[in-house]
Structure 1
Amino acid sequence: MEKLNLYGLSHLFMTVFLHNLSTFMVVPAITDVTMAALCPGQDECSLAIYLTGFQQAMIGVGTLVMMPILGSLSDKYGRKSILTLPMTLMIIPLGILAYSRTKTFFYIYYVFKIIIFMICDGCIPCLALAYVADNVPEGGRSTAFGILSGIGSAAFVCGTLAARFLSAAQTFQVSTFVAVLGAVYMQIFLRDSVIDHNDLYAPIISHGKSKANVPLLKALRSLQDLTSFLNSSKTINQAAIVAFFSNLADVGLHGSMMFYLKARFHFDKNHFADLMIISGIAGTVSQLLLMPIFVPTLGEARLLSIGLFFHCVHMIIYSIAWSAWVPYAAAMFSILFVFSQPCIRSIVSKQVDPHEQGRAQGCISGICSIAHIVSPLAFSPLTALFLSEKAPFDFPGFSIMCIGIASMISFVQSMMLRVVPPILS
């Protein structure tokens, strides 16, 4: 890599770190804040589960449309200019809960988060991946994507560690400050990717038309763009299926696990923070130290399958947890399952031209957004049912077990994934 690229990547990593630090800092506290606002004094609250599921589904609908659009626009206008939108808007929901966490302000936060995240959710990691692809040759992308993911895991550890020692009010106040700091840092230090505007509109599949005749409006037809992207390569199609079921499981676990642990073992903010710190440290070590070693020897496809297998095992262990220490032990599996997302993104990145990295990552994020729609509709009612007194049989972790089955489907599909040589080779 050239010196300029290293300079740009270092500031990108810091921007991603500050954004993730701000985002993850509030995760351990949000369940307690939600329960206190909606069902004070209770350990089980179906309303909180349903509202969380509805929020995830609505955000998924928005990002399904927006991710391909923003990815394509970043190919034209540059990554930094498009990154400015989510880095700025995502400060607002944090600021609302930093001001007050009463029931009224919780609902204001809830509405603003849905509207803003429908536009911005997933945009920052998506465009960060495209930025890395702009500046790293194909041979080093898996490692670079792993490092980027490791930076996110390091922020996850720092954020949850901070939440462990801060009150709920202080957590949201510090998170808002860090979010503002991240947006300012990006504007001052991050240089935009260098894009060849002469090759701006080259499609993945050539139809014999002049590149210059493709209008900008075509980038806005996100669903059509998504379909054509999936049909452009069998490898991309298979990777999209893996990404869908993997994210179906991720979103389901994220929406259900904390409510499950609170109802099953009476976990609170500090327990959640401890659990996330263990998972985050294991993931950070794995992505920054182990992944650069494993990728050259095992290959991306095999490492992807290993990650997805242990992703499934970790969910099944959660579902049958018989004691409060079991979730902590299961969290250690993140040292192996964190490989999956960087590997999927790297495989897809190598199947498209350099000027289409934003479109490629945006379309894969769009596929993941479908999982954000389907997962809450499938798993939130199941979680609420089996945590209630109306459960058809005594198995509080049944919904987590079903989520693990979705992860197993992605593992099986990954075993059939055949990676063709990169498009530029």
Structure 2
Amino acid sequence: MDASKPSPSRHAALAFIFVTVTVDMLAFGIIIPVLPHLIVELIGGSIAQAAVWVGAFGALFMLMQFVFSPVQGALSDRYGRRTVILISSFGLGMDFIVMALAPVLWLLFVGRAISGMCAASFTTANAYIADIVPKEKRAAAFGTLGAAFGIGFIVGPALGGFLGHLSIRLPFWVAAGLSLVNFCYGWFVLPESLPPERRSKRFEWRHANPLGAVMLLRRYPQVFGLAAVFFLINLAQFSLNSTYVLYTDYRFGWGPQVVGYTLGLVGLCSGLVQAVLVRRLMPSLGERRMILLGLVLCIGGYVLFGLAPTAWLFLLGIPLLSLGGLAGPPAQALVTHQVDAHEQGRLQGALSSLASLAGIFGPALFANLFALFISNHAPVHHLPGAAFVLAALLLAAATLVAVRATRPSQTTVSAPNDEAPIAFPGETSPLAAPVADMLPNEPPESSP
């Protein structure tokens, strides 16, 4: 079979995982505009105090992803992608119910930790795409998956803002219902992408160790350089996750409803970039130029967010940030060229753990920076957008790294660096199984 030619089974499986990710992102998007305001309500404090707690919630969420992303990746390599996705969807549904009922802050805190554990399944969705799409089509497929994220954030925050205007806890109930619907959809519709003959022979905890999973990247210089770019991009993004809602409230007086609508605009622009522009620009620009173009545009968006004196100028930063999404799919495609099919879950788990590692420090860093610059002790007054300015500087560093990491001599498929074996905790210096190409030449037959 010619892997470059699409097959009906591959198109169907891609559609299934697209729907799964869209519904999950819709559930997460719904609670974005209301979670910080619920924290304010539960602590009965100021916006500055709430910003610190929002940072703690974000760090906890990403800590759970850091720990459980490689676990889920290794489990999906051993038992299949579908099983992991189903368990995670059901867990999210139950957890949103707990958060909807939480009468005190600590219970909401626990609920956020469980959300982080279950949300680690997004790495499994990336591995699912790798199972069914040939490598020359990979960037476009990851763009399609990115569009699913965008659609979730078009409808989710707007709907969450509207529901939050009615009741601050109603969005959590709707998110729970969506996650449980997703579980039912996956149970009856979603096919398995990884047949038994392509799975790992056994599950090993040393492969699921988050630090060991990240160290896996060291054996591949090409992957390691791009992984550093991923880390900086994700670290910068947490300036949005941890400060956007409270910053726009402080600076422009936006409540949950307006925040939801503007985040919906972010999702719309991002979805168009991922679904349309990535596919159309890839043949003419190529992976390297798309990565660098996306990074430069994203820097401009963060600068506007941080320095814009008016709301309309702030909104002009949204399309620039969305165009920054051009960098993600080609960068992810370059990384996946280096790994073997039966270990793709481990690689995706390692990359997600690296992003989660950024998330452990990012929310606290940016939230506390925002709190500092709106306090009486601010080193520079009239700069409440200092967190976004720092994000722009981080992306400037990522651009410099990407220039080197994406040079033609650095992006060709090569053997792993056997001179740098991975040392897992408790072991002397084992050499993990080599990782070569993430995708099989032929897509596996989908099985229900």
**TM-score, normalisation: structure 1:** 0.89
Give, in angstroms, the shift of residue 215 of structure 1.
Answer: 6.8
Q: Which residue of 1 aligns with 2:86?
A: 84
Give, in angstroms, the shift of residue 130 of structure 1.
Answer: 0.5
Q: Which residue of 1 aligns with 2:54?
A: 52
Alignment of 1:342-361 (within 5 A): 342-361=329-348
Q: Which residue of 2 aligns with 1:405?
A: 393
In the alignment, is the contact (CA less than 8 A) between 2:58 and 2:364 conserved in 1? no
Greater fraction helix: 1
Alignment of 1:158-177 (within 5 A): 158-166=155-163, 167=166, 168-177=168-177
Following the alignment from structure 2 to structure 1, what is the Cα–Cα distance between the partners of residues 112 and 206?
A: 29
Q: Which of residues 392, 404, 413 is equivalent to 1:416?
A: 404
When residues 288 and 58 of structure 1 are mapped into structure 2, their CA distance, relative to the original with a 3 A threshold, is same
Deviations 1:61-110, CA, capped at 9 Å, x for gaps: 3322321221122111101111223212222342134346xxx3444122
Report the residue type matching 2:64 in the other structure: G
Report the residue type matching 1:147 in the other structure: T
Give, in angstroms, the shift of residue 164 of structure 1.
Answer: 4.1
When residues 221 and 323 of structure 1 are mapped into structure 2, their CA distance, relative to the original with a 3 A threshold, is closer
Following the alignment from structure 2 to structure 1, what is the Cα–Cα distance between the partners of residues 359 and 133?
A: 30
Q: Which of residues 143, 148, 162 is equivalent to 1:146?
A: 143
Give the secondary-structure state (helix, strand or coil) at the position aligned to 1:218. Answer: coil
Alignment of 1:150-299 (within 5 A): 150-166=147-163, 167=166, 168-195=168-195, 197=197, 200-201=199-200, 216-227=204-215, 229-299=216-286
Q: Which of residues 378, 393, 413 is equivalent to 1:391?
A: 378
**TM-score, normalisation: structure 2:** 0.85
Following the alignment from structure 1 to structure 2, what is the Cα–Cα distance between the partners of residues 162 and 30?
A: 14
Following the alignment from structure 1 to structure 2, what is the Cα–Cα distance between the partners of residues 162 and 176?
A: 14
In the alignment, is the contact (CA less than 8 A) between 2:63 and 2:357 conserved in 1? yes
Give the secondary-structure state (helix, strand or coil) at the position aligned to 1:192. Answer: coil
Following the alignment from structure 1 to structure 2, what is the Cα–Cα distance between the partners of residues 222 and 399?
A: 28
Decide which moves more: 166-175 or 143-152: 166-175
Q: Mark the runs of 5 or more structure 1 residues left unpaired by the alignment.
A: 202-211
2:35 matches 1:30: yes
In the alignment, is the contact (CA less than 8 A) between 1:63 and 1:366 conserved in 2? yes
Decide which moves more: 322-331 or 373-382: 373-382
Deviations 1:264-303, CA, capped at 9 Å, x for gaps: 1111111211211221111111111111011122122221
Q: Which residue of 2 aligns with 1:371?
A: 358
Following the alignment from structure 1 to structure 2, what is the Cα–Cα distance between the partners of residues 34 and 333?
A: 30
Q: Which residue of 2 aligns with 1:205?
A: none
In the alignment, is the contact (CA less than 8 A) between 1:196 and 1:355 conserved in 2? no
Following the alignment from structure 1 to structure 2, what is the Cα–Cα distance between the partners of residues 238 and 135?
A: 26
Following the alignment from structure 1 to structure 2, what is the Cα–Cα distance between the partners of residues 273 and 65?
A: 30
What fraction of aligned residue pairs are identical, expressed as a percent?
Answer: 24
Q: Which residue of 2 aligns with 1:117?
A: 115
Q: Mark the runs of 5 or more structure 2 residues left unpaired by the alignment.
A: 1-5, 414-435, 442-448
In the alignment, is the contact (CA less than 8 A) between 1:219 and 1:225 conserved in 2? yes
In the alignment, is the contact (CA less than 8 A) between 1:310 and 1:336 conserved in 2? yes
Query: What RMSD over aligned residues (CA atoms) do the two structures have, in Å?
Result: 2.1
2:338 matches 1:340: no
Q: Which residue of 2 aligns with 1:5?
A: 10
Deviations 1:4-44, CA, capped at 9 Å, x for gaps: 2222221111111111111101212222222233236xxx5
Q: Which residue of 1 aligns with 2:424?
A: none
